[in-house]
Amino acid sequence: MPDWLKYVRQHLALPDCPPEREAEIVEELAQQLDDAYGEGLQSGLGEREALLAAERHVSDWPALANDLMHGGIGQTKGVQRRRLRQYAARASGRRPPSTAVPGREPENDTRRIAALLDAFRQDLHYAARALAKKPLFTFVAIVTLVIGIGVNTAIFSVVDAVLLRPLPYPESGRLAVVWSVLGKEGRAPSSGPELVSLRERSRLFDQFAGIWVQGGALTGKGEPEQVKLGLVTSNFLSLLRTRPERGRFFLPRDEGGGAAPVIVLSHELWQRRYGADPKIVGQSVLLSGQSCTVVGVLPSGFKLIFPEGASVPPKIDVYVPFQWDLAGQSPDQGYIRVIARLRAGATLPQGQAELDNIAGELRSEFRDYAEQNLHLQVLSLQADAAHNVRPALLALFAGTGFVLLISCANVAMLILSRADERRNEITVRAALGADPGRIIRQLLTESLLLSCLGGAAALAISWAILRILWVLQPAGIARTAPTGLNLTVLGFNLIVSLLCGILFGLSPALKSRATNLASVVRDATRTATENTHWSRQLLIGCEVALTFVLLTSSALLVRTFVGLLRVDPGFNPNDVLTFQVSLPDARYPTPARAIQFIREAERRLSTLPGVQSVGVVSHLPFDDNLPNWYDYFWREGAPKQERNTRMADHRSVLPGFFDSLGITFVAGRNFNTSDEVANRKVVIVDDSLAKQLWPDGDAIGKRLNVENGDFVRDVAEVVGIVKHVQYHSLTDQVRPQLYLPYAMAVRANMSFTVRAGSSPQLLIPSIRREMARLDKDLPVANVRLMDDYVADARMGARFVTVLCGALGAIALLLSCIGIYGVTSSSVTTRTREMGVRMALGAQQGTLMVTVLCGSMPPVIAGCVLGLALSRGMTPLLSTLPFEVQPVDPAILASVLTFLGFVGLSASFLPIQRVIRGNPITALRCE
């Protein structure tokens, strides 16, 4: 029985036909010939005759092949003809004629697309096979890419969530935040009259609304609970275009003096405290001793997104309309955080121009505003909410970009070394007539496949990185939605993967064009061309430069963070437990009642076993939940122009506060009972305030004009000077501080600081018991260690530093592998040359110098470039939300030494092997 498959294969040549299709054709023709042969036998022919009869079915095999090719099984006629023309041109040494086909029919286009897709499929198949053949190469390349693309995708998803994605309010692009800018003090909350003026005078904004966050207590049914109160204008919630889940939001009639007290509850509070009671709307609840009617419930997940430092936390439990007339308040009392909604079609710059005009009008109409040098600033709510984290995120994103470039450089170098190995294969393919474009496409497909595989695996890594970031999250990032992998992030990952594939695949692919048979034959004994040599030198130079910049920046940030860990906040946070109370007006209507309660609480707590000292203060350091209290101060009798120029943080304290937090007295004394008995107005200031007003050091006994707790000005005598306390940030000295005795500045929200001998948490039950004995309806809230507040303050810096440190380490690892791999392999390629030189009597030292002269220049050039680039990085790093120390020579020198060491050892070790070995072995080396 004849082997018809073999017979057809021997006779039918189908160049450019896809292999699978060719196999089908061969099989089908063989089948039909076999049918014909069988029929011949059946009809009584002998084997020989039947064979000949079957063979006669195809008398002209080339004509059949031609028919099949023209029938469109592999290439279209046009492609076939062009291929033939190109072949003829190549054979005769002419340039091929233009391949443009005028007036192509749509059917041809479809065929062309089908042919392209088919070619792509073939390329992909070939690329997968080529990668599978070199598993180690593929593994190393993919791991390198996973690191580069993974960190990039993770940081991008944070950037996307924090900086790019719109805020979770309808038409959030038109939301803006308005700040009053007072002289040198910078931005500040606005006063009631300012808000009213804005509403009256603006034409470009639909609405202005304001919020002021305070603490309150919910009593009545159940345990008393301290809640965050959002005191708001009646249009605040509707301006955000949120819809109530139940009931309604506020109406204009709910705002102002004399309005019936109404509240809106957060979804979480409604569920937690009222068991999601469907009939909550219309019920009365006791809020800070006052009976209020619930008019609505907010939807689940609603949160406020305000800039860090605005003292507006994301979660507020209860919203209450302002119960006073905003217009009638003093223009000095800035406490309202103002948001606005731009009219459709109006832009922020137009809005800013309008507010500039309004501020000008206010300054000319009111003396107070002129003295304060009032300006108004309007910013997009989204941009301002992220303004603190933006520089850090962008710096990190740039860092990950560097890591990605280093990964790409490494993979490009890997591919280049492989291109040397594959030079023969490529050259033979080209010599056999393969289209140069096709070879480039094939190599590019390989790198794209590699990068896409890396990109897909990187998604898993970035998911893991995001989980870690979630643990480290600083407040500015926590404010926005939880970060995860969404479509934007997936799109980014795909684009980055494709770009990487093109970036590291293009150069080796283009290099394949320059390859020709003659050069391969000529350079048979060499393994690297001059071309790839220069590409590698360039890649090493770039890689060293990028690593240099990353290492310098990381080292700088790590050192800054270590500095932050050591910074003295001005107090001792260890073993101090804190908690807050909010005295409701209804039950503590007079200052005397409040003073009596706070004093008694302090006295009782200090008698508890294990308690060393107890203090009370209106604002804890690093606590951003309540609005800060700061105002102007001046020397008694200061001329008018000096008055509204300097501001200080005002704090109301009981004398035990300084002792319990370990704040040191620089001069003078603490408050004492005799002050009160004699009804003396006294104040303690910090050293920086004392230095500002009395640089000669004679502050004690001087008299200072300050604001007391009732927004009323008072004159007090300086009796003590304490060390400055870092209230807002660990590094920035925002404002000086002054402390007033509680009896002189009674406030409703007070924090207790309890210093214990050890383990302050153990005191919590006894503290709660003691406070409940004093007032069972008063909630004890925010029970936290002072250490936790300090840790939070370090969080932002820790986030950036840990990530930068990690990026630096990754960059270092990748570039060490890259530099070492490439330098040592280029030294190894010179083994034979070394052997010849040694055989001719060259000295070891001379050989060493020769090799180093070849391998060190790109490392040195990279270091020089990196040095220049890192000088450019310093101003960028200074935009970070904490103070970064300038680049110092010690860091630069260490980075230089380290990278130099990597470069030297990469050259030194392989050449050492050659020198110590036998010259004959080196000579034999190919």
Partner 1 sequence: MFNREWKKGSAELLVLSFLESRPRHGYEIGKLIEVHSKRRIAFRIGSLYPVLCRLEQRGLISGRWIEKPGERRRRYYRLTREGRRFLADERSAWEEFVATVNRLLSSNYA
Q: Could you tell me which stretch among 34-42, 502-510, 618-626, 709-717 binds partner 1 (CB under 8 A)?
A: 34-42
DSSP-assigned letters across all residues of 544-566: HHHHHHHHHHHHHHHHHHHHHHH
Helices (H), 715-843: 764-774, 786-828, 831-839
Q: Does 877 bind partner 1 (CB under 8 A)?
A: no
Half-sphere exposure of 823 (CA within 13 A, CB side): 33
Of residues 57, 81, 253, 272, which one binds partner 1 by CB under 8 A? 57
At residue 685, φ and ψ (nearest 5 deg) are -115, 165
Give me the least distance between CB of 858 and partner 1, in Å please.
Answer: 55
Give me the least distance between CB of 124 and partner 1, in Å please.
Answer: 23
Half-sphere exposure of 482 (CA within 13 A, CB side): 8
Q: Does 26 bind partner 1 (CB under 8 A)?
A: no
Q: Does 710 bind partner 1 (CB under 8 A)?
A: no
User: Distance between CA atoms of 32 and 35, rounded to whole angstroms?
Assistant: 5
Which residues does residue 491 pair with via DSSP β-bridges, in sequence order?
none
Q: Does 888 bind partner 1 (CB under 8 A)?
A: no
Give me the least distance between CB of 59 and partner 1, in Å please.
Answer: 7
Give me the least distance between CB of 807 and partner 1, in Å please.
Answer: 55
User: Distance between CA atoms of 903 and 819, rounded to whole angstroms?
Assistant: 7
70 or 924: whose CB is closer to partner 1? 70
Of residues 15, 20, 31, 890, which one binds partner 1 by CB under 8 A? 31
Helix (H), strand (E) counts: the chain: 30, 24
Q: Could you tell me which stretch among 31-39, 361-369, 384-392, 785-793 binds partner 1 (CB under 8 A)?
A: 31-39
Q: Does 119 bind partner 1 (CB under 8 A)?
A: no
User: Distance between CA atoms of 627 and 312, rounded to whole angstroms?
Assistant: 8
Give me the least distance between CB of 115 and partner 1, in Å please.
Answer: 12
Contact yes or no for 300/267 (Cβ under 8 A): yes
Contacts of 425 (CB under 8 A, 6+ apart): none
Q: Could you tell me which stretch among 53-61, 95-103, 450-458, 665-673 binds partner 1 (CB under 8 A)?
A: 53-61
Of residues 10, 15, 23, 24, which one binds partner 1 by CB under 8 A? 24
Q: Per residue in 878-888, is it b (16+ CB within 10 Å) or e — as a string?
A: eebbbebeebe
Give me the least distance between CB of 406 and partner 1, in Å please.
Answer: 49
Helix axes 436-472, 106-133, angle to 10 degrees: 70
Q: Does 14 bind partner 1 (CB under 8 A)?
A: no
Contact yes or no for 577/756 (Cβ under 8 A): yes
Q: Does 59 bind partner 1 (CB under 8 A)?
A: yes
Contacts of 720 (CB under 8 A, 6+ apart): 665, 667, 668, 669, 670, 671, 684, 685, 700
Q: Does 45 bind partner 1 (CB under 8 A)?
A: no
Of residues 3, 20, 49, 67, which one binds partner 1 by CB under 8 A? 67
Q: Does 285 bind partner 1 (CB under 8 A)?
A: no
Q: Does 79 bind partner 1 (CB under 8 A)?
A: no
At residue 888, φ and ψ (nearest 5 deg) are -115, 160
Between the alpha carbon of residue 289 and those of residues 213, 286, 626, 772, 777, the distances in Å are 18, 5, 20, 16, 9
Of residues 64, 285, 426, 542, which one binds partner 1 by CB under 8 A? 64
Q: Does 499 bind partner 1 (CB under 8 A)?
A: no
Of residues 23, 63, 164, 890, which one binds partner 1 by CB under 8 A? 63
User: Distance between CA atoms of 229 and 292, rounded to whole angstroms?
Assistant: 13
Place of tokens 């690191």: 147
Question: Amino acid identity of 730?
Answer: L
Q: Does 460 bind partner 1 (CB under 8 A)?
A: no
State whether the Cα torsion 857-863-867-870 is positive or negative. Answer: positive
User: Distance between CA atoms of 692 and 447, rounded to whole angstroms?
Assistant: 65
Q: Could you tell me which stretch among 24-32, 200-208, 354-362, 597-605 binds partner 1 (CB under 8 A)?
A: 24-32
Give me the least distance between CB of 74 and partner 1, in Å please.
Answer: 11
User: Distance between CA atoms of 741 and 650, rounded to whole angstroms?
Assistant: 11
Q: Could you tell me which stretch among 64-72, 280-288, 337-345, 916-924 binds partner 1 (CB under 8 A)?
A: 64-72
Binding footprint of partner 1, residue count (CB under 8 A): 24
Give me the least distance between CB of 131 and partner 1, in Å please.
Answer: 31
Q: Does 41 bind partner 1 (CB under 8 A)?
A: no
User: Distance between CA atoms of 670 and 692, rounded to whole angstroms?
Assistant: 21
31 or 918: whose CB is closer to partner 1? 31
Q: Could you tell me which stretch among 70-78, 492-500, 784-792, 918-926 binds partner 1 (CB under 8 A)?
A: 70-78
Q: Does 72 bind partner 1 (CB under 8 A)?
A: yes
Strands 186-188 and 190-191: unpaired
Contacts of 155 (CB under 8 A, 6+ apart): 393, 396, 397, 400, 803
Contact yes or no for 82/104 (Cβ under 8 A): no
Token pair in block for residue 229: 């109160």
Counting every residue written for the chain, the total comes to 926
Q: Does 5 bind partner 1 (CB under 8 A)?
A: no
Q: Does 172 bind partner 1 (CB under 8 A)?
A: no
Place of tokens 């990026």: 807
Q: Does 105 bind partner 1 (CB under 8 A)?
A: no
37 or 319: whose CB is closer to partner 1? 37
Of residues 14, 26, 51, 68, which one binds partner 1 by CB under 8 A? 68
Q: Does 32 bind partner 1 (CB under 8 A)?
A: yes
Q: Does 33 bind partner 1 (CB under 8 A)?
A: yes
Q: Does 386 bind partner 1 (CB under 8 A)?
A: no
Q: Does 49 bind partner 1 (CB under 8 A)?
A: no
User: Distance between CA atoms of 427 and 275, rounded to whole angstroms?
Assistant: 77
User: Distance between CA atoms of 670 and 693, rounded to whole angstroms?
Assistant: 20
31 or 516: whose CB is closer to partner 1? 31
72 or 668: whose CB is closer to partner 1? 72
Q: Does 58 bind partner 1 (CB under 8 A)?
A: yes
Q: Does 391 bind partner 1 (CB under 8 A)?
A: no
Of residues 7, 14, 22, 25, which one binds partner 1 by CB under 8 A? 25
Give me the least distance between CB of 24 and partner 1, in Å please.
Answer: 8
Instruction: Return the DSSP state at 651.
Output: E
Q: Could you tell me which stretch among 21-29, 92-100, 493-501, 577-585 binds partner 1 (CB under 8 A)?
A: 21-29
Please report, as ranges, the residues that interact with partner 1 according to CB under 8 A: 24-25, 28-29, 31-36, 39, 56-61, 63-64, 67-68, 71-73
